[in-house]
Amino acid sequence: MSTTSVDLQTHGHPAAHAGEHAHDPHHQHHFTTMEQQFDTSKIGMWLFLATEVLLFGGLFVGFGMMQARYPREFVEAHTHLVRWQGALNTVVLLISSFTMVLAVQAAKKSEKGKQVLFLGLTILCACIFLVVKYFEYSHKYEEGWLPGRFYSYKGDSIPACHAAPPGEAAAAAPAANAAPCTNGYATFFSFYFMMTGLHGFHILAGIAVLTWILFRAKRGEFSASYYTPVDLVGLYWHLVDLIWIYLFPLYYLIQ
């Protein structure tokens, strides 16, 4: 850090300083150097990612607690998820993380063509993920494996309670069933849709931001001297991948 007095008022304006490096159009005036600005942006992004970890983490905690509460129903409900679809989505996201990091590298090296290519591939992978998700969701809808009070699947080994309103439940209590009715299945699918839904929403947001970055990259905005947005969006995208890395085993591999 410089220990000499720097005139805050006029720093950054080329006309006032002969001998200063040319003013980068992205240089914000409250930062002394571009490097300081880049480092600060990185810290800001990591802080945001930490908040996302805790946001999703809350859902993981809820899922864990409910799994402990309804172990039988959760294990049985797991069987309705198709493993190869989850695995395919995992692979697709991992590849998209790879293409993303290559895009950042290309931006760092001022290689415009590669930036556009890899950003495009990342977006493509994200879209494939959403297509697979669409097939998964529509199958669930057909079978009635829906969240909360919309759950209507009849093939569970333990009957669900939600179907009857409180007043009728007592009257209609089936004497044949030894086990009490539970709602574990509905809860499982509530969590399934909440977690994959929130994750899917983050994928959508990611596609939107990546598209915007793609257009900026096409215009040649990013180079070795300024590639911060690509780097930061990359970090966000890796987080989306990270969350799926934990979602996948929890939902698709426990049986």
Partner 1 sequence: MDQGIATSPRIGDRPRPKKNYLNETKGFWSWAATLDHKRIGIMYLVGVLTSFLMGGIFALLVRLTLLTPSHKLFGKVLLTAEQYNRVFTLHGAIMVFLFIIPAIPASLGNFVLPLMLGAKDVAFPRLNLFSFYLWLTGAIMAIAAMVFGAVDTGWTFYTPYSTTTDGPVTLMTAAVFVLGFSSIFTGLNFIATVHKLRAPGMGWFDLPLFIWGIYATAIIQVLATPVLGITLVLLMLERSFGIGIFDPRIGGDPVLFQHFFWFYSHPAVYIMILPGMAIISELIPTFSQKTIFGYRAIAYSSVSLALVSFIVWGHHMFVAGQSQLATVVFSALTFLVAIPSGVKMFNWMLTMHKGNIKLDTPMLYAISFLTMFAIGGLTGIFLGTLATDVHLTDTYFVVAHFHYVMVGSTVTAFIGGLHYWWPKMTGRMYSEAWGRVGCALWNIGFNMTFLTQFFLGSKGMPRRYYNYLDQFQPLHAFSTVGSWILGLGLFITAAYLLASLRKPMDAPDNPWNGTTLEWKTSSPPIMHNFEEQPVLEREPYDYRPVLVAK
Partner 2 sequence: MSHPAEPTAIPAHAHEHEHDHGGTGVYAKTLIGLLILTAITVAAASFDFGQGNVVIALFVATIKASLVVLFFMHLRWDKPVNAIIAMAGFLFLGVFIMFCLLDFNARNNYLPSNLHPVPDMPLAPGTAPAGEVLHTNPAAAAEGGEKK
Stretch that binds partner 2, among 19-27, 127-135, 174-182, 209-217 (CB under 8 A): 19-27
Residue with tokens 């509530």: 190
Stretch that binds partner 1, among 62-70, 86-94, 127-135, 206-214 (CB under 8 A): 62-70
169 binding partner 2? (CB under 8 A): no
> Which residues in 33-92 contact partner 2 (CB under 8 A)?
33-35, 38-39, 42-43, 46-47, 49-51, 53-54, 57-58, 60-61, 64-65, 68-69, 83, 87, 90-91
CA 162 vs CA 126, 157, 165, 168, 186: distances in Å: 36, 15, 7, 11, 8
Name the region of 99 (left: φ>0; alpha: ψ -120 to 50; beta: rest).
Answer: alpha
- What is the CA 116 to chain-centroid distance, rounded? 22
The interface mask with partner 1, positions 187-216, x = CB under 8 A, is x--xx--x----------------------
∠18-19-23 over CA atoms, to 5°?
85
> Which residues in 81-120 contact partner 2 (CB under 8 A)?
83, 87, 90-91, 94-95, 97-98, 100-102, 105, 108, 110
Stretch that binds partner 1, among 60-68, 116-124, 129-137, 205-213 (CB under 8 A): 60-68
90: nearest Cα among 214, 201, 251: 251
Judged by beta carbon, residue 5 or residue 84, the one nearer partner 1 is 5
Task: Please give the single-letter amino acid code of residue 58.
Answer: G
Q: What is the DSSP letter of 10?
A: T
The interface mask with partner 1, positions 135-154, x = CB under 8 A, is ------------xxxx----
Judged by beta carbon, residue 99 or residue 190, the one nearer partner 1 is 190
CA 120 vs CA 131, 160, 219, 236: distances in Å: 17, 45, 14, 16
- What is the CA 231 to chain-centroid distance, rounded? 16
∠245-84-239 over CA atoms, to 5°?
20
Question: Which residues bind to partner 1, rule: CB under 8 A?
Answer: 1-3, 5-9, 28-31, 36, 39-40, 43-44, 47-48, 50-52, 54-59, 61-62, 65-66, 69-70, 147-150, 161-162, 166, 182-184, 186-187, 190-191, 194
